[in-house]
Amino acid sequence: MNTPLAAKALSGQPCDHLEEATRVRAVTSWIIEAPTRRKHKLSNTSISYQGYVFVRVTLENGVEGFGEASTLGGPRWAEESVEAIKANIDTYLAPVLIGKPACLLEAAAGEMAKAAKRNNAAKSALDMALLNATGKTLGVSAHVLLGGARRRSFSAIWALASGDAGQEVEEAQGMIEKGWFNRFKIKLGFADPATDLDRLAALQKALPLGTDIIADVNQGWSEADFIRFIPRLADLGVSLIEQPLPGGQMAAMARIAARSPVPIMMDEGVFTTEEALDGCSRGAGSVLSLKLCKHGGVHQLKQVAAVAQAAGVQLYGGCLLESSVGAAAHLHAFATLPDLHWGTEHFGPKILIEDLCRNGLKYENFEVHLPDGPGLGVTPDLDLIEKYARKD
Protein backbone atom coordinates (compact mmCIF):
# COMPACT_ATOMS: atom_id res chain seq x y z
CA MET A 1 0.00 0.00 0.00
CA ASN A 2 1.67 3.22 -1.12
CA THR A 3 -1.03 5.89 -1.26
CA PRO A 4 -1.22 8.68 1.33
CA LEU A 5 -4.60 7.47 2.54
CA ALA A 6 -3.31 3.92 2.90
CA ALA A 7 -0.26 5.17 4.79
CA LYS A 8 -2.56 6.99 7.23
CA ALA A 9 -4.55 3.81 7.76
CA LEU A 10 -1.37 1.83 8.50
CA SER A 11 -0.16 4.46 10.97
CA GLY A 12 -3.45 4.33 12.85
CA GLN A 13 -4.41 7.88 11.91
CA PRO A 14 -8.06 8.45 11.02
CA CYS A 15 -8.78 8.64 7.30
CA ASP A 16 -11.07 11.65 7.68
CA HIS A 17 -10.68 12.59 4.05
CA LEU A 18 -11.41 9.19 2.48
CA GLU A 19 -15.08 9.86 1.84
CA GLU A 20 -14.36 13.31 0.46
CA ALA A 21 -11.51 12.07 -1.75
CA THR A 22 -13.56 9.21 -3.19
CA ARG A 23 -16.69 11.16 -4.05
CA VAL A 24 -17.82 10.31 -7.57
CA ARG A 25 -17.17 13.19 -9.96
CA ALA A 26 -18.22 11.60 -13.26
CA VAL A 27 -19.46 8.37 -14.83
CA THR A 28 -18.84 7.51 -18.50
CA SER A 29 -20.26 4.51 -20.35
CA TRP A 30 -19.63 2.89 -23.75
CA ILE A 31 -21.30 0.07 -25.64
CA ILE A 32 -18.56 -2.35 -26.74
CA GLU A 33 -18.82 -5.01 -29.46
CA ALA A 34 -15.77 -7.27 -29.09
CA PRO A 35 -15.37 -10.03 -31.71
CA THR A 36 -14.98 -13.64 -30.56
CA ARG A 37 -12.68 -16.32 -32.01
CA ARG A 38 -15.63 -18.47 -33.08
CA LYS A 39 -19.40 -18.50 -32.85
CA HIS A 40 -20.80 -19.11 -29.38
CA LYS A 41 -24.22 -20.78 -29.40
CA LEU A 42 -26.89 -21.00 -26.73
CA SER A 43 -30.31 -22.60 -26.87
CA ASN A 44 -31.91 -19.34 -28.09
CA THR A 45 -29.15 -17.34 -29.80
CA SER A 46 -25.73 -17.40 -31.43
CA ILE A 47 -23.08 -14.66 -31.22
CA SER A 48 -19.87 -13.86 -33.08
CA TYR A 49 -19.04 -10.85 -30.92
CA GLN A 50 -19.63 -10.15 -27.27
CA GLY A 51 -21.61 -7.13 -26.13
CA TYR A 52 -20.51 -5.14 -23.08
CA VAL A 53 -21.30 -1.85 -21.48
CA PHE A 54 -17.98 -0.55 -20.21
CA VAL A 55 -18.04 2.09 -17.46
CA ARG A 56 -15.48 4.48 -16.02
CA VAL A 57 -16.06 6.15 -12.65
CA THR A 58 -13.86 9.19 -11.96
CA LEU A 59 -13.38 10.25 -8.34
CA GLU A 60 -12.63 13.69 -6.91
CA ASN A 61 -9.08 12.50 -6.16
CA GLY A 62 -8.57 11.80 -9.88
CA VAL A 63 -8.59 8.00 -9.53
CA GLU A 64 -10.49 6.11 -12.22
CA GLY A 65 -12.32 2.84 -11.62
CA PHE A 66 -13.54 0.57 -14.39
CA GLY A 67 -16.30 -2.01 -14.67
CA GLU A 68 -18.35 -3.79 -17.29
CA ALA A 69 -21.77 -5.32 -17.81
CA SER A 70 -22.00 -8.34 -20.09
CA THR A 71 -24.90 -9.66 -22.16
CA LEU A 72 -25.34 -12.47 -24.71
CA GLY A 73 -26.95 -11.49 -27.99
CA GLY A 74 -29.32 -8.89 -26.59
CA PRO A 75 -32.16 -9.43 -24.08
CA ARG A 76 -32.29 -13.21 -24.62
CA TRP A 77 -30.27 -14.66 -21.76
CA ALA A 78 -31.90 -12.15 -19.40
CA GLU A 79 -34.01 -9.03 -19.88
CA GLU A 80 -31.11 -6.57 -20.25
CA SER A 81 -29.58 -5.56 -23.57
CA VAL A 82 -26.51 -3.35 -23.98
CA GLU A 83 -28.78 -0.53 -25.14
CA ALA A 84 -30.97 -0.80 -22.04
CA ILE A 85 -27.98 -1.17 -19.72
CA LYS A 86 -26.34 2.01 -21.04
CA ALA A 87 -29.61 3.96 -20.94
CA ASN A 88 -30.32 2.95 -17.36
CA ILE A 89 -26.76 3.67 -16.22
CA ASP A 90 -26.75 7.12 -17.84
CA THR A 91 -30.30 8.12 -16.91
CA TYR A 92 -31.05 6.52 -13.55
CA LEU A 93 -28.04 4.90 -11.86
CA ALA A 94 -25.11 7.23 -12.46
CA PRO A 95 -27.01 10.34 -11.26
CA VAL A 96 -27.61 8.83 -7.80
CA LEU A 97 -23.87 8.09 -7.45
CA ILE A 98 -22.55 11.50 -8.46
CA GLY A 99 -21.22 13.27 -5.38
CA LYS A 100 -21.46 10.13 -3.22
CA PRO A 101 -18.36 8.40 -1.76
CA ALA A 102 -17.26 5.39 -3.79
CA CYS A 103 -15.84 3.82 -0.65
CA LEU A 104 -19.34 3.42 0.83
CA LEU A 105 -20.11 0.43 -1.38
CA GLU A 106 -23.13 -0.81 0.55
CA ALA A 107 -24.70 2.64 0.57
CA ALA A 108 -24.10 2.95 -3.18
CA ALA A 109 -25.82 -0.39 -3.75
CA GLY A 110 -28.77 0.85 -1.73
CA GLU A 111 -29.01 4.05 -3.77
CA MET A 112 -28.97 2.05 -7.02
CA ALA A 113 -31.62 -0.34 -5.68
CA LYS A 114 -33.93 2.62 -5.04
CA ALA A 115 -33.20 4.15 -8.44
CA ALA A 116 -34.04 1.06 -10.55
CA LYS A 117 -35.60 -2.37 -10.06
CA ARG A 118 -33.54 -5.37 -11.15
CA ASN A 119 -31.20 -4.08 -13.92
CA ASN A 120 -28.63 -6.23 -12.18
CA ALA A 121 -26.01 -6.22 -14.94
CA ALA A 122 -26.06 -2.42 -15.07
CA LYS A 123 -25.69 -2.19 -11.29
CA SER A 124 -22.89 -4.75 -11.24
CA ALA A 125 -20.83 -2.72 -13.75
CA LEU A 126 -21.00 0.37 -11.55
CA ASP A 127 -20.43 -1.65 -8.39
CA MET A 128 -17.19 -3.15 -9.73
CA ALA A 129 -16.03 0.29 -10.92
CA LEU A 130 -16.58 1.74 -7.42
CA LEU A 131 -14.77 -1.24 -5.89
CA ASN A 132 -11.91 -0.82 -8.36
CA ALA A 133 -11.58 2.90 -7.67
CA THR A 134 -11.69 2.47 -3.89
CA GLY A 135 -9.04 -0.26 -3.98
CA LYS A 136 -6.81 1.89 -6.18
CA THR A 137 -7.26 4.86 -3.84
CA LEU A 138 -6.19 2.79 -0.84
CA GLY A 139 -3.56 0.79 -2.71
CA VAL A 140 -5.18 -2.57 -1.87
CA SER A 141 -6.60 -5.39 -3.94
CA ALA A 142 -10.38 -5.53 -4.27
CA HIS A 143 -10.60 -8.80 -2.35
CA VAL A 144 -9.19 -7.06 0.75
CA LEU A 145 -12.25 -4.79 0.78
CA LEU A 146 -14.46 -7.90 0.61
CA GLY A 147 -12.86 -9.72 3.53
CA GLY A 148 -9.64 -11.07 2.06
CA ALA A 149 -8.74 -13.92 -0.27
CA ARG A 150 -9.00 -17.54 0.87
CA ARG A 151 -7.54 -18.79 -2.43
CA ARG A 152 -5.33 -17.34 -5.17
CA SER A 153 -6.23 -19.60 -8.08
CA PHE A 154 -9.26 -21.47 -9.36
CA SER A 155 -9.82 -24.64 -11.37
CA ALA A 156 -10.84 -23.33 -14.80
CA ILE A 157 -13.57 -24.58 -17.17
CA TRP A 158 -13.80 -23.86 -20.92
CA ALA A 159 -17.19 -23.78 -22.70
CA LEU A 160 -17.62 -25.59 -26.04
CA ALA A 161 -20.46 -24.00 -27.97
CA SER A 162 -19.92 -23.99 -31.72
CA GLY A 163 -22.28 -26.91 -32.38
CA ASP A 164 -19.65 -28.63 -34.56
CA ALA A 165 -18.36 -31.75 -32.80
CA GLY A 166 -15.14 -31.92 -34.84
CA GLN A 167 -14.31 -28.27 -34.21
CA GLU A 168 -15.08 -28.66 -30.50
CA VAL A 169 -12.80 -31.69 -30.17
CA GLU A 170 -9.95 -29.78 -31.82
CA GLU A 171 -10.62 -26.74 -29.62
CA ALA A 172 -10.68 -28.79 -26.42
CA GLN A 173 -7.48 -30.63 -27.32
CA GLY A 174 -5.79 -27.28 -28.00
CA MET A 175 -6.78 -25.98 -24.57
CA ILE A 176 -5.32 -29.08 -22.91
CA GLU A 177 -2.07 -28.77 -24.87
CA LYS A 178 -1.67 -25.12 -23.82
CA GLY A 179 -2.22 -26.00 -20.17
CA TRP A 180 -5.13 -23.55 -19.92
CA PHE A 181 -8.21 -25.78 -19.50
CA ASN A 182 -8.79 -29.50 -19.00
CA ARG A 183 -12.42 -29.30 -17.82
CA PHE A 184 -15.16 -28.50 -20.32
CA LYS A 185 -18.77 -27.36 -20.42
CA ILE A 186 -20.70 -28.26 -23.55
CA LYS A 187 -23.67 -26.16 -24.58
CA LEU A 188 -26.80 -28.13 -25.44
CA GLY A 189 -30.36 -27.11 -26.27
CA PHE A 190 -29.91 -25.52 -29.69
CA ALA A 191 -30.46 -28.82 -31.56
CA ASP A 192 -32.89 -31.61 -30.79
CA PRO A 193 -31.79 -33.58 -27.72
CA ALA A 194 -30.75 -36.71 -29.63
CA THR A 195 -28.48 -34.69 -31.96
CA ASP A 196 -27.00 -32.77 -29.04
CA LEU A 197 -26.23 -35.99 -27.19
CA ASP A 198 -24.56 -37.52 -30.25
CA ARG A 199 -22.31 -34.44 -30.32
CA LEU A 200 -21.57 -34.86 -26.63
CA ALA A 201 -20.75 -38.54 -27.15
CA ALA A 202 -18.26 -37.66 -29.92
CA LEU A 203 -16.56 -35.18 -27.62
CA GLN A 204 -16.39 -37.58 -24.70
CA LYS A 205 -14.89 -40.30 -26.91
CA ALA A 206 -12.16 -38.03 -28.28
CA LEU A 207 -11.00 -36.48 -24.99
CA PRO A 208 -8.73 -38.16 -22.42
CA LEU A 209 -10.45 -40.73 -20.24
CA GLY A 210 -11.96 -39.13 -17.16
CA THR A 211 -12.15 -35.59 -18.57
CA ASP A 212 -14.65 -33.58 -16.55
CA ILE A 213 -17.60 -32.61 -18.80
CA ILE A 214 -20.51 -30.40 -17.72
CA ALA A 215 -23.72 -30.21 -19.79
CA ASP A 216 -25.42 -26.81 -20.04
CA VAL A 217 -28.89 -27.00 -21.57
CA ASN A 218 -29.53 -23.23 -21.15
CA GLN A 219 -33.24 -23.73 -20.37
CA GLY A 220 -33.68 -25.57 -23.65
CA TRP A 221 -35.55 -28.72 -22.55
CA SER A 222 -38.93 -29.56 -21.10
CA GLU A 223 -39.41 -31.76 -18.06
CA ALA A 224 -40.49 -34.57 -20.41
CA ASP A 225 -37.31 -34.15 -22.49
CA PHE A 226 -35.23 -34.42 -19.34
CA ILE A 227 -36.98 -37.58 -18.14
CA ARG A 228 -36.50 -39.14 -21.56
CA PHE A 229 -32.83 -38.25 -22.04
CA ILE A 230 -31.33 -38.25 -18.54
CA PRO A 231 -30.40 -41.97 -18.77
CA ARG A 232 -28.19 -41.26 -21.77
CA LEU A 233 -26.68 -38.15 -20.19
CA ALA A 234 -25.82 -40.21 -17.13
CA ASP A 235 -24.32 -42.97 -19.30
CA LEU A 236 -22.09 -40.37 -20.98
CA GLY A 237 -20.60 -39.56 -17.59
CA VAL A 238 -21.35 -35.84 -17.33
CA SER A 239 -20.57 -34.52 -13.85
CA LEU A 240 -23.17 -31.74 -13.74
CA ILE A 241 -26.25 -30.54 -15.69
CA GLU A 242 -26.88 -26.80 -15.79
CA GLN A 243 -30.38 -25.26 -15.93
CA PRO A 244 -32.12 -27.80 -18.20
CA LEU A 245 -35.57 -26.18 -17.75
CA PRO A 246 -36.79 -22.57 -18.03
CA GLY A 247 -35.75 -20.45 -15.08
CA GLY A 248 -39.28 -19.86 -13.84
CA GLN A 249 -40.12 -23.56 -13.50
CA MET A 250 -38.79 -24.10 -9.98
CA ALA A 251 -41.31 -26.81 -9.11
CA ALA A 252 -40.39 -28.80 -12.22
CA MET A 253 -36.69 -28.25 -11.53
CA ALA A 254 -37.22 -29.73 -8.08
CA ARG A 255 -38.96 -32.78 -9.57
CA ILE A 256 -36.16 -33.51 -12.04
CA ALA A 257 -33.48 -32.85 -9.42
CA ALA A 258 -35.12 -35.45 -7.18
CA ARG A 259 -34.94 -38.14 -9.86
CA SER A 260 -31.65 -37.24 -11.55
CA PRO A 261 -28.53 -39.37 -10.88
CA VAL A 262 -26.46 -36.34 -12.00
CA PRO A 263 -26.36 -33.13 -9.92
CA ILE A 264 -28.50 -30.25 -11.25
CA MET A 265 -27.22 -26.67 -11.24
CA MET A 266 -29.50 -23.64 -10.96
CA ASP A 267 -28.52 -20.61 -13.05
CA GLU A 268 -31.10 -18.48 -14.86
CA GLY A 269 -33.68 -19.28 -12.20
CA VAL A 270 -31.71 -17.55 -9.43
CA PHE A 271 -30.89 -13.85 -9.58
CA THR A 272 -31.94 -12.59 -6.13
CA THR A 273 -31.53 -13.82 -2.55
CA GLU A 274 -35.27 -14.52 -2.52
CA GLU A 275 -34.96 -16.71 -5.63
CA ALA A 276 -31.96 -18.45 -4.08
CA LEU A 277 -33.97 -19.19 -0.95
CA ASP A 278 -36.90 -20.47 -3.03
CA GLY A 279 -34.78 -22.69 -5.28
CA CYS A 280 -32.68 -24.09 -2.44
CA SER A 281 -35.73 -24.68 -0.23
CA ARG A 282 -37.52 -26.56 -3.01
CA GLY A 283 -34.46 -28.67 -3.82
CA ALA A 284 -34.40 -27.34 -7.40
CA GLY A 285 -30.69 -28.08 -7.62
CA SER A 286 -27.72 -29.11 -5.53
CA VAL A 287 -25.35 -26.59 -7.18
CA LEU A 288 -25.80 -22.85 -7.85
CA SER A 289 -24.02 -20.73 -10.47
CA LEU A 290 -22.89 -17.30 -9.25
CA LYS A 291 -22.66 -14.32 -11.64
CA LEU A 292 -22.31 -10.61 -10.93
CA CYS A 293 -24.59 -9.79 -13.86
CA LYS A 294 -27.34 -11.83 -12.16
CA HIS A 295 -26.91 -10.68 -8.60
CA GLY A 296 -26.16 -6.98 -9.13
CA GLY A 297 -22.83 -6.58 -7.34
CA VAL A 298 -20.15 -8.25 -5.27
CA HIS A 299 -21.95 -7.99 -1.94
CA GLN A 300 -25.19 -9.28 -3.42
CA LEU A 301 -23.28 -12.21 -4.95
CA LYS A 302 -21.89 -13.04 -1.53
CA GLN A 303 -25.38 -12.87 -0.02
CA VAL A 304 -26.74 -15.33 -2.60
CA ALA A 305 -23.74 -17.59 -1.95
CA ALA A 306 -24.47 -17.49 1.79
CA VAL A 307 -28.08 -18.56 1.23
CA ALA A 308 -26.92 -21.48 -0.91
CA GLN A 309 -24.27 -22.57 1.56
CA ALA A 310 -26.74 -22.42 4.46
CA ALA A 311 -28.93 -24.82 2.47
CA GLY A 312 -26.03 -27.19 1.70
CA VAL A 313 -26.00 -26.23 -1.99
CA GLN A 314 -22.57 -26.19 -3.66
CA LEU A 315 -21.19 -23.17 -5.55
CA TYR A 316 -19.97 -22.74 -9.12
CA GLY A 317 -18.26 -19.66 -10.54
CA GLY A 318 -20.33 -18.77 -13.59
CA CYS A 319 -19.53 -16.27 -16.33
CA LEU A 320 -21.13 -14.43 -19.24
CA LEU A 321 -18.03 -14.13 -21.44
CA GLU A 322 -16.62 -11.19 -19.51
CA SER A 323 -13.33 -9.62 -20.53
CA SER A 324 -10.51 -9.55 -17.99
CA VAL A 325 -12.20 -6.55 -16.32
CA GLY A 326 -15.41 -8.34 -15.42
CA ALA A 327 -13.68 -11.68 -14.89
CA ALA A 328 -11.23 -10.11 -12.42
CA ALA A 329 -14.11 -8.64 -10.41
CA HIS A 330 -15.67 -12.10 -10.21
CA LEU A 331 -12.41 -13.69 -9.07
CA HIS A 332 -11.96 -11.15 -6.28
CA ALA A 333 -15.46 -11.98 -4.99
CA PHE A 334 -15.02 -15.75 -5.48
CA ALA A 335 -11.68 -15.64 -3.64
CA THR A 336 -13.41 -14.57 -0.41
CA LEU A 337 -15.99 -17.38 -0.33
CA PRO A 338 -15.50 -20.25 2.14
CA ASP A 339 -15.82 -22.70 -0.77
CA LEU A 340 -16.10 -22.61 -4.56
CA HIS A 341 -16.72 -26.32 -4.97
CA TRP A 342 -16.82 -26.50 -8.78
CA GLY A 343 -14.23 -23.88 -9.69
CA THR A 344 -15.03 -21.28 -12.32
CA GLU A 345 -15.61 -21.04 -16.06
CA HIS A 346 -14.17 -17.56 -16.49
CA PHE A 347 -12.76 -18.17 -19.95
CA GLY A 348 -14.12 -14.96 -21.53
CA PRO A 349 -10.75 -13.24 -22.00
CA LYS A 350 -9.51 -16.21 -24.04
CA ILE A 351 -12.50 -16.36 -26.40
CA LEU A 352 -12.10 -12.71 -27.43
CA ILE A 353 -9.90 -12.00 -30.42
CA GLU A 354 -8.47 -9.14 -28.34
CA ASP A 355 -8.99 -8.88 -24.60
CA LEU A 356 -9.91 -5.41 -23.37
CA CYS A 357 -6.95 -5.19 -20.96
CA ARG A 358 -3.24 -4.56 -21.34
CA ASN A 359 -2.49 -6.94 -18.47
CA GLY A 360 -5.21 -9.57 -18.49
CA LEU A 361 -5.78 -12.68 -16.42
CA LYS A 362 -3.18 -15.44 -16.19
CA TYR A 363 -4.12 -19.02 -17.14
CA GLU A 364 -1.66 -21.80 -16.40
CA ASN A 365 -1.65 -25.32 -14.97
CA PHE A 366 -5.37 -25.50 -15.80
CA GLU A 367 -6.16 -22.71 -13.38
CA VAL A 368 -7.05 -19.03 -13.64
CA HIS A 369 -5.16 -16.87 -11.16
CA LEU A 370 -6.35 -14.01 -8.96
CA PRO A 371 -4.73 -10.82 -10.27
CA ASP A 372 -2.42 -8.83 -8.00
CA GLY A 373 -2.28 -5.09 -7.61
CA PRO A 374 -4.59 -2.33 -6.40
CA GLY A 375 -8.28 -2.53 -7.20
CA LEU A 376 -9.15 -5.24 -9.69
CA GLY A 377 -5.48 -5.71 -10.58
CA VAL A 378 -6.03 -5.41 -14.34
CA THR A 379 -5.52 -2.38 -16.60
CA PRO A 380 -8.09 -1.68 -19.33
CA ASP A 381 -6.72 -0.91 -22.77
CA LEU A 382 -8.56 2.30 -23.62
CA ASP A 383 -7.34 2.15 -27.23
CA LEU A 384 -9.12 -1.20 -27.62
CA ILE A 385 -12.16 0.16 -25.81
CA GLU A 386 -12.31 2.97 -28.35
CA LYS A 387 -11.65 0.55 -31.23
CA TYR A 388 -14.60 -1.66 -30.34
CA ALA A 389 -16.94 1.03 -29.02
CA ARG A 390 -20.17 1.39 -30.93
CA LYS A 391 -19.90 4.54 -33.03
CA ASP A 392 -23.57 5.41 -33.57
Instruction: Look at residue 253 in the predicted model and tell me its pLDDT.
Output: 98
Shared domain check, 154 and 78: no
Pick the catalytic residue from 322, 345, 350, 367: 345
Shared domain check, 206 and 170: yes
In tens, the pLDDT along 275-324 reads 999 999 999 999 999 999 999 999 999 999 999 999 999 999 999 999 99
pTM flag (> 0.75): yes
**What is the three-state SS of the chain?**
CCCHHHHHHHHCCCCCCHHHHCEEEEEEEEEEEEEEEEEEECCCCEEEEEEEEEEEEEECCCCEEEEEEEECCCCCCCCCCHHHHHHHHHHHHHHHHECCECCCHHHHHHHHHHHCCCCHHHHHHHHHHHHHHHHHHHCCEHHHHCCCCCCCEEEEEEEECCCCHHHHHHHHHHHHHHCCCCEEEEECCCCCHHHHHHHHHHHHHHCCCCCEEEEECCCCCCHHHHHHHHHHHHHCCCCEEECCCCCCCHHHHHHHHHHCCCCEEECCCCCCHHHHHHHHHHCCCCEEEECHHHHCCHHHHHHHHHHHHHCCCEEEECCCCCCHHHHHHHHHHHHCCCCCCCCECCCHHHHECCCCECCCCEEECCEEECCCCCECCCCECHHHHHHHECCC
Instruction: Look at residue 1 in the predicted model and tell me its pLDDT.
Output: 44
CATH of the domain at 292: 3.20.20.120
Confidence of residue 78 (pLDDT cuts 50, 70, 90): confident
Pick the catalytic residue from 136, 185, 187, 294: 187
In tens, the pLDDT along 87-107 reads 999 999 999 999 999 999 999
Question: If you average pLDDT over every residue of the chain, what do you get?
Answer: 93
Is 191 domain-assigned? yes
Instruction: Decide which of 98, 124, 141 is a domain's last residue.
Output: 141
Shared domain check, 349 and 219: yes
Shared domain check, 156 and 115: no
Shared domain check, 374 and 247: yes
Instruction: Look at residue 11 in the predicted model and tell me its pLDDT.
Output: 42
Instruction: Decide which of 141, 168, 191 is a domain's last residue.
Output: 141
Instruction: Look at residue 7 in the predicted model and tell me its pLDDT.
Output: 47
In tens, the pLDDT along 238-260 reads 999 999 999 999 999 999 999 99
Q: Answer with the residue of higher pLDDT: 72 or 82.
A: 82
Shared domain check, 350 and 325: yes
pLDDT score of 5 more than 70: no
Confidence of residue 47 (pLDDT cuts 50, 70, 90): low
Q: Is 187 a catalytic residue?
A: yes
Is 391 domain-assigned? no
Average pLDDT over residues 118-137: 98
CATH of the domain at 119: 3.30.390.10
pLDDT score of 219 more than 60: yes
Q: Which residue range(s) make up the domain with 38? A: 4-141
pLDDT score of 2 more than 60: no
Shared domain check, 188 and 175: yes
Confidence of residue 37 (pLDDT cuts 50, 70, 90): confident
Q: Tell me the one-letter amino acid at 358.
A: R
Confidence of residue 50 (pLDDT cuts 50, 70, 90): confident
Shared domain check, 155 and 109: no
The count of structural domains within the chain is: 2
Is 392 domain-assigned? no
Instruction: Look at residue 6 in the predicted model and tell me its pLDDT.
Output: 53
Nearest to 36 by CA among 69, 66, 72, 84: 72
